[in-house]
Amino acid sequence: MDQSEEQINLPELLVINPPPVFIVHQHQFSTKFKLLKAYESPLSTDLFLQTHAQSTKAIICYGKSPITSNILHLLPSLRLVVTASAGFNHIDLLECKQRGIAVVNTGDVLSEDTADTAVGLLIDVLRKISAGDRFVRSGNWVNKVQYPLGSRLGGRHVGIVGLGNIGLKVATRLEAFGCKISYNSRQKKTVPYNFYQNVCELALDCNILVICCTLTVQTHHVIDKDVLKALGKDGILINIARGPIVDEKELVKFLVEGEIAGAGLDVFENEPKVPQELISLDNVVLTPHKAAFTEEAFSDASQIVLANLEAFFSNKPLISPVIDV
């Protein structure tokens, strides 16, 4: 009996494009589900979806494989959308809700590693670590070229935009470095940090902003010209959340003109395209949307995705629902 025969009695899981977590742990998925892989089919995606329209109850997705109203329309039997990510801005949540489709994400399992990346990017920008590494590799150290001084992290007033799972973890880490923490969030929380209702006021009082919020209609371009101006010439912006939370054109302008001091960016508005102006700057650190990409996080994420799917197919409560039905 070959694998496809073995899979016949397994529940079906539709994959339009495979999330990285799914690629790394595919063997675990293939033993538990009959995988309907649109990306390996000679059919167009629409035709593939139509072929499996009546039977498909569950689909797996991620940021670069969005679940649009068009896809939902093509899959009338769909009852579960699983995203192999913490973020879910690529899923049409309203349409899912209206159609009675549950949505689950990876819950909190990626937030430790994402918070670590935020702190890593911040130390890197302040202390010029990547720039120093470039300096050494280029041979300039031997040539006795002077290297500029960095800035101290301790004593800094850090504003966290979005004090959820990740934001809180960034806060506790930065407290250990002697930073003062304030935050902006939809609601005031029971935490020992100052709450700011307005991002611009937060930026005015802080010299570092760390973006940790979800991308929504409300947070789109919330880091705009006014916030960057308030952040000021010694200000540093860290973004490990989503690119479009920041008005990237304005950010580039502020960085190029020296109107803010630096930025650590793991996400961009038009990934994987990164504004060309940033490539030549020494006061920015640019990473390829990998804030949560560790072997351990991928293993944890695959476990929680599998646990959610198994709960769904055995009519048990979902583990990490974004929308429960």
Give me the least distance between CB of 278 and its own copies, in Å please: 9
Name the active-site residue from 112, 156, 242, 250. 242
Q: Does 94 bind its own copies (CB under 8 A)?
A: no
Name the active-site residue from 289, 295, 296, 310. 289
State residue 159 phi and psi, 5-degree precision: -100, 125
Q: Which of 55, 68, 94, 152 binds its own copies (CB under 8 A)?
A: 152
Q: How far is CA 237 from CA 45, 147, 199, 209, 273, in A?
A: 39, 22, 13, 5, 19
Helix (H) or strand (E) holding 304: helix 295-313
Q: Does 112 bind its own copies (CB under 8 A)?
A: yes
Q: Which of 50, 68, 70, 172 binds its own copies (CB under 8 A)?
A: 172
| Paired tokens of 68 | 């649009």
Residue 274 to residue 251: CA distance in whole angstroms: 12
Q: Which of 151, 194, 214, 303 binds its own copies (CB under 8 A)?
A: 151
Q: Does 178 bind its own copies (CB under 8 A)?
A: yes
Q: Which of 57, 173, 220, 225 binds its own copies (CB under 8 A)?
A: 173
- For the question of residue 242 being annotated catalytic, the response is yes
62 Ramachandran zone, left/alpha/beta (phi>0; psi -120 to 50): beta
Q: How far is CA 75 from CA 6, 16, 48, 55, 324, in A?
A: 25, 12, 11, 9, 19
Among all residues, which ones are annotated catalytic?
A: 242, 271, 289
Residues that bind its own copies (CB under 8 A): 24, 112-113, 116-117, 119-121, 123-124, 126-130, 132-137, 141-142, 144, 147, 149-155, 172-173, 175-178, 271-274, 279, 285-288, 290, 293-298
